[in-house]
C-alpha cells in the first residue's frame, strides 16, 4: 500500500522510468515511419538509428553502478535528464546520419543510467515494508512515456518533425523538474549503492514461498544454477522484444499499409499495456508465486510477438490480433522486468539483490544491443519485418524454457532439503 509519504519517492521512480525508456527509447518507434516517409533517412538507416540507442543503453548499464558510487544522486540524475533533453534537441536538426547516431547513442547511455539509479534510489529511500508496492508502481512510468509518445507524436508530425523533437525535449524538461523537486523532498542524496547498513529487514521484496527466502543466498551449487537460468532467461527477453519496441509502428504503417494513424493507435495500446503490466505482475506474484507468474509471462509474450504474422490470410482478424499483440507485449515489457527482479530477490535475499540485479541489467542491455543490430541487419537482408517476429517469438520461447528449468531445479533442491530433514 502506498501512503502520502511515499509520493516523492514514487514520482522520482516514475519520472526516471518514463524518460529513460518511455521517451528516450520508445518515442522513436512511432517516429520511425515518419523519418522514412519525410526522407530524413532511408529505411535501412532509420532502423540502425534505432539500434544505436540500444548500444548506448548497454554502455550506460555497464557504467551506471560505478558512476553512481562517485557522483551525488541529485547531480547524476540531473545530468542524465539534461543529456536526454539535449539529444531530443539535437535530433531536431537533420544534419547527418552520424549526427543522429551520436545523439541517439547519448540518449541510450543517459536513459540506462536513469533506469538503474532511479528505481534503485526509490527502493533505498523508502521504508522496507512498502518497497514492494512502490517498486511495482514506479515501472508504470514506462507505459506513461510510451502512451504520451503515441498520442502526442501523431499530432505533431503533421506540422513538423522538428517541432515533434522539441516537444519531446519540453516533456523531458518537465519530468526533470518534477524529479528534482521530489528528490529534494527526500533529503537524502547519498550514493545509492545498498550495503548491509541500508537493509533493515530481510523482507524488502515479497516472496511467494518461505522456503526460498534469503537463506538460500548461501553458495549452493543447485541454487546458483537456479539464479543463472533466471538471468539468462532475462537476456532472452531482451533478444525477443526488439521487433515490437523498435519496428512495430513502421511494420504496421508501411509494410502492412495501415498508415500512421493506425500505427499510432496500436502504439498507444502498447503504452496502455505497459501501464497495466506492473499491476498484472504484482497480482500474479501474490497469488501464484514469482516463478509461476514469470514463466506464464514468457509464454504470453512469445505468443503475442508471433501473433501479428499468423493467420495473414484472414484480413478481418488483423486489427484484432494487432491490438491483442500490442497490449500483451506492452504489458509484459515492464511485467517481466518486475517479475525477474522479484524472482531474483526471492532467491538471493535483499542483501544480494542489488548485485544480481546489476548483472541482470547488464545481460539485458548486452542482449538487446546485439539483437537490435542483428535484427537491423536481418531486415536489410529480408527487406521485410515478417520473419523478425517469428525469430523474436522463438527467442522468447527459449526464455520460457530457462524459466521452467529454473523452477524445476529449485523444486528439486527443495525436495532434497525436505527429505534430508527426515
pLDDT per position as a tens digit, 121-146: 776 676 666 666 666 778 888 888 88
> Are residues 213 and 124 part of one domain?
no
Structure confidence by residue, pLDDT tens digits, 85-112:
999 999 888 788 888 889 989 999 999 8
Residues 6+ apart with CB under 8 A from 321: 307, 308, 310, 311
Residues 6+ apart with CB under 8 A from 195: none
Q: H helices within 187-289, ranges in order?
A: 221-240, 242, 248-250, 259-288
Cα dihedral 303, 304, 310, 311 sign: positive
Calpha distance 60→64 (Å, rounded): 6
**194 lies in a domain?**
no
User: What CA–CA distances, in Å, run from 323 to 32, 124, 334?
Assistant: 19, 37, 18
Calpha distance 91→34 (Å, rounded): 14
Which contacts qualify for 38-43: CB closer than 8 Å, 24 or more apart?
A: 38/161, 40/94, 40/161, 41/97, 41/100, 43/250, 43/254
> Are residues 182 and 229 part of one domain?
no
Give this prediction's pTM. 0.76
Calpha distance 212→204 (Å, rounded): 14
Among 132, 156, 189, residue at a domain's last position? 189
> Are residues 174 and 225 part of one domain?
no
> Are residues 360 and 243 part of one domain?
yes
Q: Which domain holds residue 101?
A: 1-189
The total of other beta-carbon atoms located within 10 Å of residue 380's CB is: 12
What local confidence, expressed as pLDDT, does residue 421 receive? 53
**12 lies in a domain?**
yes
Calpha distance 266→281 (Å, rounded): 22
> Are residues 241 and 145 part of one domain?
no
Q: H helices within 38-96, ranges in order?
A: 43-68, 73-91
Structure confidence by residue, pLDDT tens digits, 17-37:
899 888 888 788 777 777 787
**141 lies in a domain?**
yes
Residue 158 sits at φ, ψ, to 5 deg, of -65, -30
**201 lies in a domain?**
no
Place of cell 531536431: 92
Calpha distance 231→393 (Å, rounded): 18
**228 lies in a domain?**
yes
**Residue 126, domain CATH:** 1.20.1250.20
> Are residues 7 and 62 part of one domain?
yes
Are the beta carbons of 235 and 21 closer than 8 angstroms?
Answer: no
Residue 316 sits at φ, ψ, to 5 deg, of -65, -20
Ranges of residues in the chain with a pLDDT under 70 are: 1-3, 123-124, 126-135, 187-223, 311-316, 350-354, 413-422
**356 lies in a domain?**
yes
Grid coordinates given for 220: 549452493
Calpha distance 115→13 (Å, rounded): 9
Amino acid at each position: 500500500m502506498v501512503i502520502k509519504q511515499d509520493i516523492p519517492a514514487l514520482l522520482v521512480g516514475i519520472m526516471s522510468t518514463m524518460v529513460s525508456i518511455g521517451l528516450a527509447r520508445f518515442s522513436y518507434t512511432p517516429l520511425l515511419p515518419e523519418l522514412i516517409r519525410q526522407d530524413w533517412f532511408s529505411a535501412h538507416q532509420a532502423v540502425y538509428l534505432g539500434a544505436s540507442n540500444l548500444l548506448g543503453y548497454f554502455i550506460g548499464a555497464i557504467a551506471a553502478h560505478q558512476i553512481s558510487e562517485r557522483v551525488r544522486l541529485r547531480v547524476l540524475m540531473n545530468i542524465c535528464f539534461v543529456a536526454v533533453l539535449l539529444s531530443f534537441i539535437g535530433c531536431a536538426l537533420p544534419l547527418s546520419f552520424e549526427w543522429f547516431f551520436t545523439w541517439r547513442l547519448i540518449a541510450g547511455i543517459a536513459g540506462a543510467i536513469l533506469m538503474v539509479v532511479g528505481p534503485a534510489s526509490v527502493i533505498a529511500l523508502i521504508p522496507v515494508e512498502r518497497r514492494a508496492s512502490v517498486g511495482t508502481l514506479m515501472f508504470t512510468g514506462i507505459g506513461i512515456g510510451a502512451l504520451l509518445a503515441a498520442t502526442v507524436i501523431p499530432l505533431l508530425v503533421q506540422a513538423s518533425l522538428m517541432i515533434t523533437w522539441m516537444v519531446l525535449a519540453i516533456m523531458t524538461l518537465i519530468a526533470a523538474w518534477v524529479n528534482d523537486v521530489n528528490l529534494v523532498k527526500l533529503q537524502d542524496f547519498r550514493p545509492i549503492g545498498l550495503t548491509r547498513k541500508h537493509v533493515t529487514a530481510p523482507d524488502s521484496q515479497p516472496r511467494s514461498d518461505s522456503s526460498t527466502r534469503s537463506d538460500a543466498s548461501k553458495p549452493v551449487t543447485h541454487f546458483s544454477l537456479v539464479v543463472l537460468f533466471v538471468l539468462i532467461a532475462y537476456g532472452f527477453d531482451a533478444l525477443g522484444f526488439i521487433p515490437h519496441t523498435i519496428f512495430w509502428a513502421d511494420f504496421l504503417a508501411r509494410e502492412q499499409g495501415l498508415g500512421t494513424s493506425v500505427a499510432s493507435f496500436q502504439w498507444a495500446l502498447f503504452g496502455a499495456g505497459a501501464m497495466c503490466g506492473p499491476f498484472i505482475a504484482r497480482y500474479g506474484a501474490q497469488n501464484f508465486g514469482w516463478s509461476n507468474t514469470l514463466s506464464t509471462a514468457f509464454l504470453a509474450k512469445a505468443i503475442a510477438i508471433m501473433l501479428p504474422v499468423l493467420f495473414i490470410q484472414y484480413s478481418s482478424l488483423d486489427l484484432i490480433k494487432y491490438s491483442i499483440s500490442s497490449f500483451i507485449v506492452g504489458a509484459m515489457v515492464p511485467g517481466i522486468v518486475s517479475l525477474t527482479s522479484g524472482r531474483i530477490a526471492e532467491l538471493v535475499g535483499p542483501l544480494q539483490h542489488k548485485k544480481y540485479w546489476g548483472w541482470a541489467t547488464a545481460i539485458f542491455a548486452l542482449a538487446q544491443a546485439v539483437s537490435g543490430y542483428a535484427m537491423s541487419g536481418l531486415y536489410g537482408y529480408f527487406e521485410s519485418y515478417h520473419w523478425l517476429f517469428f525469430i523474436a517469438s522463438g527467442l522468447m520461447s527459449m526464455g520460457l524454457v530457462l524459466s521452467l528449468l529454473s523452477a524445476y531445479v529449485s523444486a528439486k533442491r527443495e525436495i532434497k532439503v525436505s527429505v534430508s530433514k527426515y
